[in-house]
Structure 1
Amino acid sequence: MIGFTEGNANESGDSSGLTGSFESNEDNREEAELQLPITDVVRIMEKILPCNARLSQEARQTVQESATEFISFVTSEAADKCQKDNRETINGDDVYWALENLGLSNYAVAVRRYLQKYRDDELERSANSQGCPTDEEYLTLPLFEENKETSRDRR
């Protein structure tokens, strides 16, 4: 980022009244890397807003910064729990715990539902990859149709 300060004259005798001072571009790049991608933030915002709504750049950046800060806040709480439990990996249950612990139970309920749905889908995928039928497929299987004999037929 470039910043300017007012001055009477710089050492070279220039009397323009402005001397340039350059801040590190590396700091700005690191800060930008820690933000959520603006394209993703805008895409989510546009899904929620009416078709004819327009978003100012300031609104986009404000939501981007707010969402990034929120995620950092929750992640920090979850990371503290993991550190106390001597674990290195944050999992979905840690995020759920952090939301509850921070008093954000409305979000925690949504996360709990998502986790359950995700785990159910994973179990189904795992069963399908092993060749096992799903619950729906079990209902349509023609079990023992070839050997349909009644107890009277066995006598």
Structure 2
Amino acid sequence: MRDKGRGGRRSRSRQAFYAVASDAKPAVAASGSRGAMAERPEDLNLPNAVITRIMKEALPDGVNISKEARSAISRAASVFVLYATSCANNFAMKGKRKTLNAADVLSAMEEMEFQRFVVPLKESLEAYRREQKGKKGASELKKKDKDQKGDAEDPEKNRGDENEEEDERMEEEEQNEEEGEEADS
């Protein structure tokens, strides 16, 4: 069986897809400890309750889903996640990194020929980052207010807190710059 889309040769990620799809030895378990091998193919399946909820949200009210359909969609979703992870891992390895990042996932979507999802995924990622930044800001304000009330008598401690906050800001800026450089390459 050959993939004609790329000159008759399969890419590594497509090979991983076919290996997973044919129930060859499974790679890494989706649940459980990180890096542990799956003992059974079922260990790689996504939770049925989550899959069922997503399916029901996507369908109009009153549509029933058979057990076989839920099982098939669950397996397809698991295979998709494994395939996308394998593709993203290839990009991380090319960058000599062990950690997958958002840029790797977006690149994997393009390699898997899901370009139409890249823009919505980028928008979701930006919304997530804004939300996290808002949460972090609110948490810092709350902490700052608490510290100011409790430590008004200790000016030395307040200077230490300011230095820690400056260090955190610098680390966050460096991380944002690194992500920007990785996305550009």
Can you list the C-alpha shifts for 1:66-122, whole angstroms capped at 9, x where unaligned?
A: 111111111111001111212111122211111122221111122111111111111
2:44 maps to 34
Determine which of 68, 75, 79 is the counterpart of 2:78: 68
* Distance in 1 between residues matched to 2:112 and 2:54, nearest whole Å: 25
Residues 29 and 41 of structure 1: CA distance in aligned 2, closer, same or farther (over 3 Å):
farther
* Distance in 1 between residues matched to 2:68 and 2:39, nearest whole Å: 19
Determine which of 104, 120, 125 is the counterpart of 2:130: 120
* Distance in 2 between residues matched to 1:82 and 1:107, nearest whole Å: 20
Q: Give the superposition deviation at 1:127.
A: 1.6
* Distance in 2 between residues matched to 1:39 and 1:131, nearest whole Å: 38
1:83 maps to 93
2:111 maps to 101
Q: Quote the RMSD (CA, aligned, Å).
A: 1.8
Determine which of 55, 58, 71 is the counterpart of 1:48: 58
Structure that is richer in helix per residue: 2
1:139 maps to none
Task: Compute the TM-score of the two structures, normalised by the length of structure 1.
Answer: 0.62
Q: Give the superposition deviation at 1:39.
A: 1.2
SS at match of 2:141: coil
Structure 2 portions without partners, runs of 5+? 1-37, 143-185
- AA aligned opposite 2:67: Q
- Moved >6 Å (runs of 4+): none
Task: Compute the TM-score of the two structures, normalised by the length of structure 2.
Answer: 0.53
Instruction: Report which of the two structures shows the higher radius of gyration computed on alpha carbons.
Output: 1
Can you list the C-alpha shifts for 1:25-78, whole angstroms capped at 9, x where unaligned?
A: xxx962111011111101111112222111111111111111111111111110
Residues 29 and 47 of structure 1: CA distance in aligned 2, closer, same or farther (over 3 Å):
farther
1:143 maps to none
